[in-house]
Structure 1
Amino acid sequence: MVRGKTEMKRIENATSRQVTFSKRKGGLLKKAFELSVLCDAEVALIVFSPKGKLHEFSSSSVINKTIERYITNTRNLARQGKIAEEENIQHLKDEAADLNQKIEFLQDYKRKLLGESVGSCSIDELDQIEQQLEQSLSNIRTRKNMLLREHIDQLREQEKVLRNENTELRNKANETELLVQPLAQATDVETGLFIGLPQTRTS
């Protein structure tokens, strides 16, 4: 018979809880022992029962030796983590300082392009700024001409569409006029206007 899967939650019945603790504790201690023997690992296990009773296992002669080794290793890891964190913080500070320098340079260069703060510029710097402005102006004109050509092409397409619509409307108007003319001729009535006394008609 296959046992059902145990639901991972606190066992409410005190007796069942104590029985389960005893069984699982024994299995855990056995696994710790097997791990230390099969893999030549230093294993220390500490378990406190619900009533506070201590159960322990150590692959070494004294469990305190393993605990001291754990504390020393934890401190070393913490120290290494702190050093790595400090190095990371310093790296971020260096990056921030570098970015600030680049921002200042770009802002200064922008002011010079706008014609501000050029009093301290040399002839070579002014010549470089002038070339940059001419290149920028050339790029702007190229972009402007391209947009104008695109707009003109769009207007031509719209004109073509409107011409076609106008032609279709004229054709429909002509067809309508051709249909209306025969009806108008069929409904023409001759009327005579006579002023004066009525005369007797003779057959």
Structure 2
Amino acid sequence: MVRGKTQLKRIDNTTSRQVTFSKRRSGLLKKAFELSVLCDAEVALIIFSATGKLYEFSSSSTNKTIERYQRNAKNHRIGHKAVEGNMQLRTQHFQKDASAMTKKIKLLEDHKRNLLGDDLESCSIDELEKIEDQLAQSLTDIKARKNQLLRQKIEKLKEEVEILAKENAELKKIEVQPLPPSVIRPEVHRRRISDVETELFIGPP
């Protein structure tokens, strides 16, 4: 018969609850002892029953184990606070960087609109002169780049013209060679050979 899974809830019957507490307490104390022996672990177990009775187990000393736990818990809290403080500083640093980046992007977008001729009403004379100078410099750079590309294209076309001229000259040098008579009229050549053989034949027919 398969044993059913025990439902975890408070046992209403007082006797059954006391029996279950006694059995499971013994098992828990035994497991704590086995863990301390098998794994060389420092184990301290404290149990209070429903009536307030104390049951405890310690592999060394309960008080020393509790003191060790308190020290480690304190160090953990200090370390956790240090990590939180560091995270807060990093978060503040990132927020400042993000704010500065947002302002920079906004300035660039405003400047871009100004270069395109938009939102010029709020610009001063000095700002308009700077924009005008930038546009003039940009136009100069664009023309220089355009001329460079045109020169490169012209040089490439000149090279192609030279290659085609050389190929044309080579084609003009080729002379058409006349074909031999045997190729032109092969039947005449064969007939002449047959006549010679007939004339030179000696002997009875």
Letter in 2 for 1:165: E
Which residue does the alignment assign to 2:152?
150
Matched residue SS, 2:164: helix
Give the direction of change, closer, same or farther, for the CA distance of 1:47–1:66 in structure 2 (3 Å limit): closer
Please, what TM-score do these two structures have when normalized by structure 2?
0.58
Which residue does the alignment assign to 2:199?
none
Q: How does 1:80-95 map to 2 (within 5 A)?
A: 80-95=82-97
Distance (Å, rounded) in 2 between the aligned partners of 1:57 and 1:157: 95
Q: Percent identity?
A: 34
Which residue does the alignment assign to 2:172?
170
Tell me how far 1:110 sits from its aligned partner. 0.6
Distance (Å, rounded) in 1 between the aligned partners of 2:112 and 2:36: 77
Letter in 1 for 2:111: Y
Please, what TM-score do these two structures have when normalized by structure 1?
0.59
Computing the radius of gyration over CA atoms, which structure comes out larger, 1 or 2? 2
Give the direction of change, closer, same or farther, for the CA distance of 1:23–1:73 in structure 2 (3 Å limit): closer
Which residue does the alignment assign to 1:101?
103
Give the direction of change, closer, same or farther, for the CA distance of 1:92–1:182 in structure 2 (3 Å limit): same
Letter in 2 for 1:136: S
How much is the aligned-residue C-alpha RMSD, in angstroms? 3.1
Greater mean alpha carbon deviation, residues 128-137 or residues 84-93: 84-93
Which residue does the alignment assign to 2:114?
112
Q: How does 1:7-156 map to 2 (within 5 A)?
A: 25=39, 28=40, 45-46=42-43, 56=59, 62-156=64-158
Structure 2, unmatched stretches of 5+, are 1-34, 46-56, 186-205
Q: Give per-residue Cα distances to partners, 1:82-114, cap 9 Å, x unaligned.
A: 111122122111111111101110010011111
Distance (Å, rounded) in 1 between the aligned partners of 2:80 and 2:38: 33
How many residue pairs were aligned? 141
Tell me how far 1:47 sits from its aligned partner. 9.2
